[in-house]
């Protein structure tokens, strides 16, 4: 999603040490001597001057604002917008035939007792079932998130020790653009929650699966096909339960935000590389994922 920079930033002057009052969606950050200085003066982009400390600065290249969301003040100090959705330029496209993203390295950091997933998806209409995310210890201990084409059901299948728990929803999610999914599980509380577009749409029990997860597949059910047909974006995993408020904040009215510093984050693939087949893990665990069989970066985001 691109950030609309055409409208002027609200006129205000913020002195160091005072809490800023922001209008619109614009916040600007300047790293300066270890502090974050927030500022905006005049009519922002329109007159292209900024007052930092009594001295006015003009951006070196206004074009940089539109292209990258940065102001370059003097070649060494940049102002970067805190609004992060401008950094979400790519997703990954799956052909529905054999494409997948392999993130097996992240299996060791996912807890079968307690956790959450968050991801964005844009699903093509398909008669067959499409897997969004799958991970397993073995066939009796695993999580399968998929859309059942024949029944038009969006389904979480969570199996522990061979006992299966499921949450099923029939909201139409095929062929109608981007959606956000979150799923949380808490074995101690025997509770799981499915969220669609920031709101809870189903609750259930939580299966207790034990053992180390060895297979983590995005857009593919390991050993079971269900190749995803469409696009997936910004997949993140957590070692705790996202609250309803956190899910709503992550959904952010449909605009992906940067989750790199979110508490509990154990895996995070943003798919922003747009080249090659390796996808960086933007959590602290650095479990690189791999595009397989033609899964490809796509300039299509929520």
Residues 16-55 that bind Ca ion (CB under 5 A): none
Interface with Ca ion (CB under 5 A), residue from 15, 98, 138, 190: 98
Residue 229 is a binding residue for Ca ion (CB under 5 A): no
Q: Pick the piece of the chain touching Ca ion (CB under 5 A) from 21-29, 93-101, 241-249, 281-289.
A: 93-101
State the DSSP H helix or E strand holding residue 67, giving kind and residue range, or none if neither.
helix 63-68
Q: Which is nearer to Ca ion, 101 or 247 (CB)?
A: 101
Q: Pick the piece of the chain touching Ca ion (CB under 5 A) from 36-44, 102-110, 180-188, 294-302.
A: 294-302
Number of residues that bind Ca ion (CB under 5 A): 10
Question: For residue 36, what are the CA distances in angstroms to 21, 29, 70, 116?
Answer: 15, 6, 15, 31
Interface with Ca ion (CB under 5 A), residue from 167, 270, 289, 302: 270
Residue 233 is a binding residue for Ca ion (CB under 5 A): yes
Residue 2 is a binding residue for Ca ion (CB under 5 A): no
Residue 231 is a binding residue for Ca ion (CB under 5 A): no
Who contacts 78 (Cβ-Cβ below 8 Å, separation ≥6)? Answer: 30, 70, 71, 72
How does strand 130-138 pair with strand 215-218? Answer: antiparallel
Question: What distance lies between CA 34 and its chain's CA centroid?
Answer: 28
Residue 294 is a binding residue for Ca ion (CB under 5 A): yes
Residue 178 is a binding residue for Ca ion (CB under 5 A): no
Residue 84 is a binding residue for Ca ion (CB under 5 A): no
Interface with Ca ion (CB under 5 A), residue from 195, 222, 238, 271: 271
Six token digits for residue 99: 């494409």
Question: For residue 77, what are the CA distances in angstroms to 25, 60, 80?
Answer: 22, 11, 10
Look at residues 86, 91, 97 and name the one whose alpha carbon lies nearest to residue 25. 86
Interface with Ca ion (CB under 5 A), residue from 88, 100, 229, 246: 88
State residue 16 phi and psi, 5-degree precision. Answer: -55, 135
Q: Pick the piece of the chain touching Ca ion (CB under 5 A) from 22-30, 169-177, 229-237, 238-246.
A: 229-237
State the DSSP H helix or E strand holding residue 199, giving kind and residue range, or none if neither.
strand 199-204
The residues that touch Ca ion, with contacts defined as CB under 5 A, are: 88, 95, 98-99, 233-234, 270-271, 293-294
């Amino acid at each position: 999603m691109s950030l609309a920079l055409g409208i002027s930033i609200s006129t205000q002057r913020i002195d160091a040490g005072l809490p800023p009052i922001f209008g619109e969606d614009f916040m600007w950050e300047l790293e300066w001597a270890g502090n974050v200085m927030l500022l905006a003066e005049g009519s922002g982009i329109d007159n292209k001057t900024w007052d930092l400390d009594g001295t006015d600065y003009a951006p070196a290249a206004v074009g940089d604002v539109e292209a990258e969301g940065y102001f370059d003040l003097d070649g060494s100090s940049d102002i970067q917008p805190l609004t992060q959705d401008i950094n979400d330029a790519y997703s990954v496209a799956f052909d529905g035939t054999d494409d997948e993203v392999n993130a097996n390295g992240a299996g060791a950091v996912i807890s079968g007792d307690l956790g959450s997933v968050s991801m964005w998806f844009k699903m093509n209409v398909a008669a067959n079932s499409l897997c969004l995310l799958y991970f397993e210890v073995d066939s009796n201990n695993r999580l399968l998130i998929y859309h059942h084409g024949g029944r038009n059901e969006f389904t979480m299948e969570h199996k522990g020790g061979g006992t299966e728990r499921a949450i099923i929803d029939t909201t139409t999610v095929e062929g109608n653009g981007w959606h956000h999914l979150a799923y949380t599980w808490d074995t101690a509380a025997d509770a799981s929650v499915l969220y669609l577009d920031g709101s809870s749409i189903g609750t259930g029990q939580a299966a207790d699966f034990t053992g180390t997860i060895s297979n983590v597949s995005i857009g593919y059910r390991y050993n079971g096909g269900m190749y995803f047909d469409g696009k997936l974006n910004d997949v993140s995993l957590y070692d705790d339960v996202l609250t309803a408020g956190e899910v709503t904040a992550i959904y952010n009215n449909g605009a992906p935000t940067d989750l790199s510093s979110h508490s509990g984050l154990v895996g995070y693939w943003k798919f922003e590389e747009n080249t090659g087949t390796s996808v960086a893990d933007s959590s602290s665990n650095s479990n690189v994922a791999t595009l397989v069989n033609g899964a490809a970066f796509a300039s299509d985001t929520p």
